[in-house]
Structure 1
């Protein structure tokens, strides 16, 4: 890992909120492409998923989702349940940041995509008892659209349409459909 990336991770832990934010943005931007340093931070990010600091949990959720494309050993297949747990975090903002990023796991390959889709389908259909479930559903539908736009897999579109149809309230059906316009 080069010194620049190391400094970003160091700055995440610093006192200066502006430096933290800048470091976060730089890491997110770096992980839009495959990187060769994913395993240098992987275990630390896994640890952060359960850290008492919700900022660390949120960052770990977002970074690991993005690092899935840089995971030739397919560790994500094993570590996904821990990542998915953060989508149910007690702090809703932490959960939501992870939900909004987790679609990126589907970019890593077919096995990862199927695992992700299975979790999204199950959560969409069985998560009605969750607080803010309509917002969670919306974020998952938006994530499916982003994944579809990247990989152009018609199965993803079919799943999204089925889930939108599964919604009984026409107001929310309309809202979810807006993500696919």
Structure 2
């Protein structure tokens, strides 16, 4: 699952600073090595987007909501104790993440995971492991598969929240580097 591209800061300053490349340069004027450097810089510049894409992918590994009364999402809600896992409660945030803005989904999921006690987390992990084993992840204890998924969601949601707050610019990068050179 790949969400729509969503960037808060422009890549232009980074192109100029790191590659001495004006943003208006046509791609056809670049050799393969310079194109590769632009690609690497774009990846490094898109931490929040990459984490959002991963979070969407994790959500995509679970069944889509259904009209069945006791579907996967109902079982996950019951196991976790968190109504956040009900599709109606996260639908807007999932759709927003698909448009490239995963901040709301990350916040909601991180809240739900934080509020779970140990027993709820294990129970939710088992519900998740059950569906993951059906598709392609098997051969490991179900409680570990579910815990890995939950831990991955937790770390990915944290990356999105952290990337959203840190707002790195070329100026702040220069200041950071200068500070470390002085220390």
For the aligned pair, the TM-score class normalised by the smaller chain equals under 0.3
* Higher RCO by CA contacts (8 Å cutoff, separation 6 or greater): 2
Which protein has the larger Cα radius of gyration, Structure 1 or Structure 2? 2
- Normalised to the residue count of structure 1, the TM-score between the two structures is 0.26
- Normalised to the residue count of structure 2, the TM-score between the two structures is 0.26
